[in-house]
């Protein structure tokens, strides 16, 4: 039996983010289902989080405003989110003599471990919650550990957070009430053993935000979980000229799916032409549907160099089977050989592997090199290597960064 009615302000008390009880005004529609009273808000119909909002209200950890609205797009404070999370998780809350309404919820969050001192910068609990701060609470609630800047990667990888746009994380962006509730609902689902769909572009962006690469997300067949048991670390990929006037470092290692027109990182190729090259043949990179793995480097120059052409920092990936294959391979499990990647010089129809520094005495020069990875579940039992080469005519030998084997459990 379901009845609808409009109630006076004294008829139903609900709670906002804080501890002060407020009442639904006569503008709020109220449904009665089998004796259970549930509010219907005037501003959530058709909202992307409508289902999550009503589920959250049903669970009792969030409510609406006296005007009969929910205000799904209003910003949520740190205190309000912690109170929601604590209530949704049914964590024990002890009363406190402190006059601030949120203290008991913060204490409960600390005791349970879903919040650790230092997770939020500063002590202002009325400050709008950032998306990264929300990720920390959500990940800790799943009893997972993370290092600095890894929180959003863990949250996106488990399907709790999506991007604000394709490939856009907005870690410092404020959080709305609808976003907060959606994350809490997903968090509860994961805790109950449900596997959620993930935003692959958000996971890729979160891995880049974490440790300057997205290669584990994009190419798990080649790189999975870690680099030799450790997170990716580009501190080893630094090269300096003998006179100290030029320092080159790889700032990012980015994998791009050339067969996916929506891959947010395609802009790195489309903003500047690149070519893949092998056996003296040159082809525009965008003509391939493989994976381009680009090492983005920066060379900082602080004085006049005694060379005209400066070779940038370079990255390279090696697998013996790649180089032993003929140009045309009929077996779909073994696609054509891989090619290196360099900037394309349309004027001379060749790739450019150096930077002209004859007129430079200061400034920063950006560059990119890389490798084209094949698609189609490339098979090889031989070692797979990732190496780094220093810059300039003095670059010398390559430095090994990774050495491992393909993981055939992942399909590319």
Distance (Å, whole) CA 26 – CA 8: 5
Distance (Å, whole) CA 186 – CA 134: 13
Calculate mean pLDDT across residues 318-341.
55
Q: Which of 317, 339, 337 is nearest to 327 (CA)?
A: 337
Contacts 24+ apart (CB under 8 A), 276-279: 276/339, 276/340, 276/341, 276/372, 277/339, 277/340, 277/341, 277/342, 277/351, 278/337, 278/338, 278/339, 278/340, 279/327
Residue 7 — pLDDT band, cuts 50, 70, 90? very low
Return the H-helix or E-strand segment holding 218: helix 215-218
Count CB atoms within 10 A of the CB of residue 212.
19
Question: Residues 245, 302: contact at Cβ < 8 Å?
Answer: yes
* 320 SS3 class: helix
Distance (Å, whole) CA 368 – CA 342: 7
Helix locations, 61-214, DSSP H = 78-88, 103-112, 131-141, 151-157, 177-191, 200-211
Mean of the per-residue pLDDT values for the chain?
A: 82
- Which residues contact residue 256 at a Cβ distance below 8 angstroms, ignoring those fewer than 6 apart? 218, 263, 265, 266, 268, 269, 291, 292, 293, 294
Per-residue tokens: 110: 């600390």
* 19 SS3 class: coil
Distance (Å, whole) CA 378 – CA 335: 7
Q: What global pTM score does this model have? A: 0.84
Distance (Å, whole) CA 290 – CA 313: 23
Per-residue tokens: 131: 């998306």
For position 32, what pLDDT does the model report? Answer: 38
pLDDT of 295 > 50? The answer is yes
pLDDT of 12 > 50? The answer is no
Per-residue tokens: 35: 């004796």
DSSP conformation letters of 255-275: EEETT-TT-GGGHHHHTS-EE
More confident residue, 52 or 290: 52
For position 290, what pLDDT does the model report? Answer: 81
Distance (Å, whole) CA 186 – CA 276: 42
pLDDT of 13 > 60? The answer is no
Give 22-66 pLDDT, tens digit per residue: 323 333 444 433 334 456 899 999 999 999 999 999 999 999 998
pLDDT of 258 > 80? The answer is yes
For position 323, what pLDDT does the model report? Answer: 59
């Amino acid at each position: 039996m379901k009845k609808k009615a409009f109630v006076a302000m004294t008829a139903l008390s609900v709670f906002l983010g804080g501890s002060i009880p407020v009442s639904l005004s006569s503008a709020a529609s109220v449904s009665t289902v089998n004796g259970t009273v549930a509010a219907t808000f005037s501003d959530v119909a058709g909202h992307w989080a409508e289902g999550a909002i009503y589920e959250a209200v049903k669970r009792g950890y969030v409510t609406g405003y006296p005007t009969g609205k929910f205000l799904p797009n209003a910003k949520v404070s740190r205190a309000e989110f912690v109170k929601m999370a604590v209530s949704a998780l049914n964590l024990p809350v002890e009363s406190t003599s402190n006059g601030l309404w949120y203290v008991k919820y913060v204490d409960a969050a600390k005791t349970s471990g879903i919040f650790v001192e230092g997770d939020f910068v500063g002590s202002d609990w009325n400050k709008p919650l950032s998306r990264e701060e929300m990720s920390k609470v959500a990940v800790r609630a799943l009893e997972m550990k993370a290092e600095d800047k890894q929180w959003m990667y863990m949250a996106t990888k488990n399907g709790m957070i999506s991007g604000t746009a394709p490939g856009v994380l907005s870690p410092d962006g404020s959080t709305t009430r609808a976003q907060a509730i959606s994350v809490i609902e997903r968090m509860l689902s994961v805790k109950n053993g449900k596997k959620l769909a993930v935003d692959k572009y958000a996971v890729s962006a979160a891995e880049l935000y974490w440790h300057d690469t997205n290669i584990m997300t994009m190419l798990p067949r080649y790189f999975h979980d870690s680099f030799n048991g450790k997170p990716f670390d580009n501190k080893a990929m630094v090269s300096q000229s003998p006179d100290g006037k030029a320092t080159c470092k790889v700032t990012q290692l980015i994998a791009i799916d050339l067969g996916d027109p929506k891959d947010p990182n395609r802009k790195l190729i489309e903003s500047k032409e690149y070519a893949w090259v092998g056996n003296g043949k040159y082809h525009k990179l965008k003509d391939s549907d493989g994976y381009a793995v680009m090492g983005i480097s920066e060379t900082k120059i602080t004085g006049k160099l005694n060379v005209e052409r400066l070779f940038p920092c370079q990255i390279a990936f090696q697998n013996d089977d790649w180089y032993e294959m003929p140009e045309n391979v009929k077996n779909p499990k073994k696609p054509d050989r891989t090619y290196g990647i360099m900037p394309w010089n349309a004027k001379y129809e060749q790739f450019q592997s150096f930077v002209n520094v004859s007129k430079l005495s200061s400034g920063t020069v950006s560059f990119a090199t890389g490798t084209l990875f094949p698609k189609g579940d490339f098979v090889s039992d031989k070692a797979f290597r990732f190496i780094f080469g220093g810059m300039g005519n003095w670059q010398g030998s390559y430095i090994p960064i990774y050495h491992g084997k393909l993981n055939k459990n992942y399909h590319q």
